[in-house]
Amino acid sequence: MVKRTLIDRTPEPRRVPDAGLTEVASGNPTACLGALPPPHQPRGRGARSNITGRYETRSHEIFDVGWTDGDPVPPQLRTVTIKDSSRTIVTTNNSPDISFSHSINPYRGCEHGCVYCYARPSHAYWGYSPGLDFESVIFIKPEAPALLEKLFLKPRYRPEPIVIGANTDPYQPRERELQTTRELLKVFARFNHPVSFITKSALCLRDLDILAPMAAKGLVRAAVSITTLDRKLARDMEPRAATPAKRLDAVRGLTEAGIPVTVMAAPMIPALNDRELEAILDASAEAGATSAGYVLLRLPLEIKDLFKEWLVTTRPDSASHVMSLIRQTRGGQEYDASWGKRGRGDGPYAKLIAARFRKAVSRLGLNRPAPGLRVDLFERPLGTATQASLF
């Protein structure tokens, strides 16, 4: 075996977690961290690299130190958690492309590892990579339920529907043990406060004992993301999320408990999963969904490079075709952040997807407006600081 001679351009190398390679800092701000070559790609992860975040003053790139396929594979990349000591819990937005104004994210980062996730760039703000760090370094918020109750107890607080999981999934794997989302729901239930959540996990069925009574009062609704019905494609794109069948089970279980469910066929990726649009909507309607939405793939900031790395390693024969069609839906670019176009795109191909969606939801009755959530039932329970008990 002939090993390549490599030059270390920095005295401060660091180890790429579990990669079996060495990552070195580079003074070139445009350097791009390439995808990890087999067999060093971490199993069960969506990203293929730990691409440098846009706020870093130094970028990193991988170089070969001579390891081969015959060398031992490094141990599996483990997920670590970091306590988030935020003092507030509700985020507001005024985006015309978003149907809600108030949201809570119990976790930063998401272990589901969806390669296309629009939340990945947010990890760069905290000094972590939108790549492998995003799905293996998870910020947790154990104080979230207490912060929410503190907000509800403020005399001037006026209830507005709040969405849980607008950025990262509130029912990602860590929720099974931490139960932060469950404790948040208990606070919503105690105060009769309207809430909705977005997930691609069947773990939400665990909380039907809280959700069903709230649904009977018109206080809750759910959105379930179903990207594909193909198990293999789902495993490749969303390695630690629930299988498509489990997500349909979640739709069915939520519906049977009286909770209105919107199915999000999102994102639709040209030449990859967009052919399944009608099949996803058919299966969702059969499972009991009452409404549906879709989003065309978005590739802002670091996501475009992460997605292209993933395409090259998992779908090499179709990678160039997929990217060509994506550019056709974005005016020749890989992304267009214009209001009204971010989630829908433009051009003939994007308009065709939109027309197919409208026809399908009309046929299936999934174009009915989602029921509004009641705000008039909000009350501070007896025994709280602002509503003292008589006894």
pLDDT one-digit tens code per residue, 4-26: 333 222 323 333 333 333 333 33
Residue with the larger pLDDT of the pair 341 and 278 = 278
Say yes or no to pLDDT of 28 above 80: no
pLDDT at 25: 36
pLDDT one-digit tens code per residue, 148-162: 999 999 999 999 999
For 375, phi then psi, to 5°, come to -110, -10
* Distances 168 to 11, 17, 62, 156 between C-alpha atoms, Å: 36, 22, 28, 29
Q: What is the pTM of this model?
A: 0.85
pLDDT at 389: 47
* CA atoms in the 13 A half-sphere facing the CB of 384: 17
What is the Cα–Cα distance from 153 to 147, expressed in whole angstroms?
10
Say yes or no to pLDDT of 275 above 90: yes
Q: Which residue has the tokens 């730990």?
A: 50
What is the Cα–Cα distance from 205 to 335, expressed in whole angstroms?
36
pLDDT one-digit tens code per residue, 292-341: 999 999 999 999 999 999 999 999 999 999 999 999 999 999 998 888 88
pLDDT at 97: 74
Residues contacting 322, CB < 8 A, separation 6+: 269, 270, 271, 272, 311, 315
pLDDT at 56: 80
pLDDT at 99: 78
Sign of CA dihedral 277, 280, 286, 291: negative
pLDDT bracket for residue 67 (50, 70, 90): low
pLDDT one-digit tens code per residue, 166-182: 999 999 999 999 999 99
pLDDT at 383: 67
Adjacency order of strands within the sheet including 137-140: 80-83, 137-140, 107-108
- Average pLDDT of the chain to the nearest whole number: 86
pLDDT at 32: 36
pLDDT at 62: 60
pLDDT bracket for residue 374 (50, 70, 90): very high
pLDDT at 173: 96
- Comparing CA positions, the residue from 144, 147, 224, 152 lying closest to residue 189 is 152
Q: Which ranges in 191-243 belong to alpha helices (H)?
A: 208-216, 231-237
pLDDT one-digit tens code per residue, 197-255: 999 999 999 999 999 999 999 999 999 999 999 999 999 999 999 999 999 999 999 99
